Structure 1
Amino acid sequence: MVDDVSSDVVPLGPLEPTDKRIVTETTEAVFEQLGESALSEIYALRDDFARFMMPYKFAIDEVMTKISILREEFSALHAENPIEHVNSRLKTTESVLEKVARKGIAPSYSAIRAAITDIAGIRVVCSFVSDVYRVFDALTAQDDVRVVAVKDYIANPKANGYKSLHAIIEIPVFLSDGPVPVTVEVQLRTVAMDFWASLEHKIYYKYDADVPAELLAGLREAADVAADLDGKMESLHREVRRA
């Protein structure tokens, strides 16, 4: 559906300099594994990629507006705001095409749209674990939000200790000739979970994913400490609310 709509959208103009950097060393290594035909098809996607990405950018704006309204309502009517901070990101052209090549996704917009559900991403950081589910329920209860999938890494943490609530939602983006359903990945976590995830990301980036065993053990221990902190803070929070 987006393909039909995007063909009528006014082009955004030349890609920004960061989007022209399609081939980095990492991307090049992935592309080397492809055949000539598949590679040329992937490069052909670049020409119209800005228009393909437009609905995802608008979807981020829509969800950010919804979360902003929830924050104001919680603050004004409930005397507390469970949302500490929110940020968003739109995958770069380079990142999307690299994922297409790495996962063997057919180089077409319809295939990319179906297979890659985190092109648009939003992270919501909450004060307490209970707030994570509270905000998730408030967001997904809205009539124009459809829950596509949920992965609860809080109830079922990853082996390395990672915790977060991941939700793939779909919302309508209203373009000039009608609504377009767009998926957005929303990650909800506590401050402690976010701090741990940020540290893990930096470590994996520094060691190019080949992290020494002692650091992995340290990360796992830190995840346990963060979980313990969340538990204690949640308990204190309940005591204060009861008082």
Structure 2
Amino acid sequence: MTEEEYLCFVQPYEDALKNIRVRVDVLNQDYRRKYQNYPIHHIQHRIKQKESIENKLLKNGYEVSTDSARNYLTDIAGIRVICFFVRDIYAIVDLLKKQTDIVIIKECDYIAAPKPNGYRSYHIVFGVPVYHTDGMEYYPVEIQLRTMSMDLWASMEHRICYKGKQDCKAEKAFRAYAVALKDMEKAMEEFL
């Protein structure tokens, strides 16, 4: 995939990402107006870099091309929504699911069922409509929703036990940290 092909290929994904970012921001502001509270601490976003797309395609045994990326990858556009509490995550997910012009492609609740290493997060891939001069097409945008403590844990685990590394010496400790952070979150939520 040339740089020019990549830039042309990701443009509609950037448009879909902008679309979903605005929706999440509007929901957060509306929530704040109605309940004098806001569920989202901050939002991060990214478009997967060319090399990252190519590496993921190769790793999964696919041809490196824009067609393969379009057909097999659902995380080219990504947004991470960092919330205060778990109940905020579920509130945002419920509000997004009520929007009738986006479709759910894939959903994984790693809060209800954490990964064996302790990872907790809510992942949902939406098909987001992007309108062009010649019509409309849906593009996937992956949304990861985490609390601040989940984000801390995931960031530190990624830094110390970099993904792809086998046999991270701190793995057992990270499982214990995940439980401790979950307990801390629950205790803090009781103050509300």
TM-score bracket, normalised by the shorter chain, equals over 0.9
Which structure has more relative contact order (CA 8 Å, sep 6+)? It is 2
**1:86 corresponds to:** 43
Q: Does 1:220 align with 2:175?
A: yes
Check the 8 A contact 1:203/1:211 in 2, yes or no. no
AA aligned opposite 1:121 = G
Q: Distance in 2 between matches of 1:218 and 1:82?
A: 30
**1:172 corresponds to:** 129
Shift of 1:204: 2.2
Q: Distance in 2 between matches of 1:182 and 1:208?
A: 28
AA aligned opposite 2:45 = S
Structure 1 stretches of 5 or more lacking a match? 1-42, 238-243
CA separation of 1:110 and 1:229: change in aligned 2, threshold 3 A? same
**What per-residue deviation string (whole Å, max 9, x for no partner) do you get for residues 94-153 of structure 1?**
100111111111334333212110010000111111110000111121111111111000
**1:9 corresponds to:** none
AA aligned opposite 2:181 = A
Q: How many residues align?
A: 192
Check the 8 A contact 2:161/2:168 in 1, yes or no. no
Give secondary structure in 1 for the equivalent of 2:30.
Answer: helix
AA aligned opposite 2:184 = L
Alignment of 1:103-122 (within 5 A): 103-122=60-79
**Higher share in strand:** 2
Q: Does 1:125 align with 2:82?
A: yes
CA separation of 1:208 and 1:172: change in aligned 2, threshold 3 A? closer
Shift of 1:208: 6.6
Check the 8 A contact 2:5/2:66 in 1, yes or no. no
**Cα-Cα RMSD:** 1.6
Give secondary structure in 2 for the equivalent of 1:52.
Answer: helix
Quick check: which has more Rg, 1 or 2? 1
Alignment of 1:56-205 (within 5 A): 56-205=13-162
Q: Distance in 2 between matches of 1:172 and 1:208?
A: 33
Give secondary structure in 1 for the equivalent of 2:59.
Answer: helix
| Alignment TM-score, normalising by the size of structure 2 | 0.94
| Alignment TM-score, normalising by the size of structure 1 | 0.75
